[in-house]
Structure 1
Amino acid sequence: MQLVYLTSKKYPSSTADHFFVRNMAEVFSKILSEDFTFIVRQTGPELKSINVKVLYAPSRVRTVYYFFSLPFFIFRRHNCSDCFFFSNDPYLLSVLIFWRKIFGFKYKICSDWHQIFQDWRDGYIANNSDFLISTSERLKDLIIKKTGLQKNKIFVAYGGVDLSKFNPNTDIPNLRKQLNLPLDCILVGYVGFYKTMGMSKGVDMMIESLRFIPDKKVKMVFVGGKPNEIEEYQSLAIKNGVEDRCIFLGVVSQELVPKYEQTMDMLVIPYPDKPHFRDWGFPMKVYEYMASKKPIIYSNLPIIGEVLEDCAISFEPDNPRDLADKIEKFNSEPKEGIDWAEKALEKVKNFTWQKRAEKITNFLTRN
């Protein structure tokens, strides 16, 4: 089996999707060795351990460039009938489908689904893929409903985490000093971008929930904001009279993310009940939060509950008072929080990047 991970990504980059793709490429490379190729538009030092093929093209013409260059790349490969192209890029998948129809190429196409597009791409890509990977059961059901595919053609492979990045014996007081965070407060954390595609990810609701928490030692730390977003939410905190209980931090390196997550007393996934978050926006932070061995409070959306329902507690989406109640519950009953955190840590051992890649390669080779 030869696997070609087809992307048009440029490295280095710090976006969540770049991070997801890079981690998958690293573990595919370990499993398949010389039978794996990672196609990017620009490489960087973080890809040095991977067999990389660069197809450079300016952003404004990248789809056109790939359209004409991919057939030459395919013609130069041997044993194309044993080759699987893997991608989550709808336009590159469409190019692969087109040229396979034109030239009768024998390669297989595996589309990695992270969302529904609500246009021609859904049916065209799904019905012309040999295999489909979904990041949740919820998304799998939506793909089936949208395209009429058989269930056995779609495999659910949840996201992953690198457990080696998390130290279970972390000295929390010392870590807080390093990160310049208060030592004598209960820190409720959110780590991730504040918004996606212009939509709030629930940071505003978290800020509002502080009004219902009388214990002034409870503070919230928000890690991952852009300057304009930080300014926006600082104004909201002032409006709610909780500015002295909110700490807003910008985007940090991937190396610092586990440190911030582990230094909190509890972590929140505050996603609103909107189609993007309800139907396919599965947060990668779920697995990081679980690995941090901290109690997790999540917005009660079924897609998140697929993983967290038996190892975290939920609150009613968009309800700041209910979130406040759950925060106070963990604050007043720390032993219960520890129990939930230990359950999450044990469960996340089944959600590593290595295991995700192994499950996908097994799915491809047994069908």
Structure 2
Amino acid sequence: MNKILYVHNADFSKPCANRIQVLNMCKAFKNIGVSITLMSFNCDKNIIKNIYNEDIDYNTISLKPFVNYYFRSLLLFLRFLTIKNDYNHIYTRDLTFAFLVSKFFKNKKVIYELHDLSNGKMWHFLFKRTFKNLQGCVVISKGLKEELIKNDFNGNKIHVLHDGVDLEKFDINISKNEARGKLNLPKDKTIISYTGSLQSWKGYETFLKSYDYLKNKENIVYLVVGGSKEHINRLKEKYKNKNIIFVPFVENSKVPLYLKASDVLVIPNSSKYEISVKYTSPLKLFEYMASKRPIIASDLPSIREVVSENEVLFFKPNNEKDLAEKIKKHIKDKELQKLAENTYEKVKKYTWAKRAEKIIEIFNN
């Protein structure tokens, strides 16, 4: 297997889920014995260490970022021209870059990873012309593949690979009370948690509103981990009279501690957005599953691609009252803890290493 160049059009000094996913994939490639190089913006090893608390042992090519997305794509391509002879296998989440490399370098094997469908004419123009030259197209949900096939794209070139998890990182050996002690969280309360970014389609508002429908609120704490400090400050003001703890964005290496400190974990994705209903493969779902904590999730096709009633308790999307009912059920029925054991067994199929191995198979076809 030749070396892989992983190209991502993002500024790694501004952390979010897609950067974390890329770092996990690069680490997985390295761990299965592949020579991997990450090319992106502000992705040198010192920045990765300072922001993500990750020591990386693979090569990086770090560029200075610019605001315009398409200009950044062009910069990535121009940099690629200086190293093109070193890499015959290209993996990227940047469509413009994939288009340029696959068009002008037919001898390169290019895999493009797709996470959502754009409504923009430019995107559709590029994707149609890029797809025919790709070695393969990786999508993160069956919904995405079905939509592409519906639009006459060859399903044989489209590979569904859901997101994954690092089991060693998220199944840490620490008790609930020990985790709460480290995080200064109350040990005598039931903690219901949401971790992740605070985008509307992820349904965090449904989670927060469900608090009003709970009984025995004095014994329950909601914990929200994620979002900018400015956004968190606004939410603190809005929900100041409720027993809700807000923690702004923390580096991914600290998330396992918050999950282990929790009694129940919630995925409240909204049904009002197509990306949420059909296209997403939430990182938090796999992280939750690896933490061995009970999960309550929106009943959506994108979630059911991975889990069923044998692993999680579903609630009606955008229905804060039903979410509250399911939370009360989880608190009352301790037998539901067995669902968490089932999720852990299932998540073993969704490690980053297994995902990386499947990508190598696509390159070798």
Question: How far apart are 1:168 and its partner, in Å?
Answer: 5.3
d(CA) in 1 for partners of 2:198 and 2:64?
31
1:39 is paired with a residue whose SS is strand
Are 1:5 and 1:85, in contact at CA under 8 Å, matched by a contact in 2?
yes
Q: How does 1:187-202 map to 2 (within 5 A)?
A: 187-195=191-199, 199=200, 201-202=202-203
2:179 is paired with a residue whose SS is helix
Instruction: Determine the structure 2 residue equivalent to 1:111.
Output: 112
Are 1:39 and 1:52, in contact at CA under 8 Å, matched by a contact in 2?
yes
Deviations 1:124-153 (A, max 9, x none): 33333220111111111112223x122221
Q: How does 1:1-367 map to 2 (within 5 A)?
A: 1-2=1-2, 3-34=4-35, 36-42=36-42, 43-45=44-46, 46=54, 48-56=56-64, 58-60=66-68, 61-74=71-84, 76-77=85-86, 83-100=88-105, 105-119=106-120, 120=124, 121-146=126-151, 148-167=152-171, 169-195=173-199, 199=200, 201-216=202-217, 217-238=219-240, 243-273=241-271, 274-309=273-308, 310-336=310-336, 338-365=337-364, 367=365
Question: How far apart are 1:296 and its partner, in Å?
Answer: 0.3
1:128 is paired with a residue whose SS is coil
Change (3 A) 1:41 1:207: closer
Change (3 A) 1:163 1:232: same
- Across the aligned residues of Structure 1 and Structure 2, the Cα RMSD in angstroms comes to 2.0
Structure 2: gaps spanning 5 or more residues:
47-53
Change (3 A) 1:251 1:277: same
d(CA) in 1 for partners of 2:280 and 2:238?
25
d(CA) in 1 for partners of 2:78 and 2:232?
43
Change (3 A) 1:96 1:311: same
How many residue pairs get matched?
347
Instruction: Determine the structure 1 residue equivalent to 2:51.
Output: none
Question: How far apart are 1:70 and its partner, in Å?
Answer: 2.6
Question: How far apart are 1:49 and its partner, in Å?
Answer: 0.6
Change (3 A) 1:41 1:264: same
d(CA) in 2 for partners of 1:55 and 1:190?
34
1:258 is paired with a residue whose SS is helix
Question: How far apart are 1:53 and its partner, in Å?
Answer: 3.4
d(CA) in 1 for partners of 2:55 and 2:113?
21
Are 2:112 and 2:136, in contact at CA under 8 Å, matched by a contact in 1?
yes
Deviations 1:308-333 (A, max 9, x none): 21311111100011101110111100
2:83 is paired with a residue whose SS is helix
Are 1:168 and 1:293, in contact at CA under 8 Å, matched by a contact in 2?
no
Change (3 A) 1:353 1:162: same
AA in 1 matched with 2:158: I
Structure 1: gaps spanning 5 or more residues:
none
d(CA) in 2 for partners of 1:72 and 1:166?
39
AA in 2 matched with 1:226: S
d(CA) in 2 for partners of 1:66 and 1:134?
22
Are 2:9 and 2:93, in contact at CA under 8 Å, matched by a contact in 1?
no
Question: How far apart are 1:44 and its partner, in Å?
Answer: 1.8
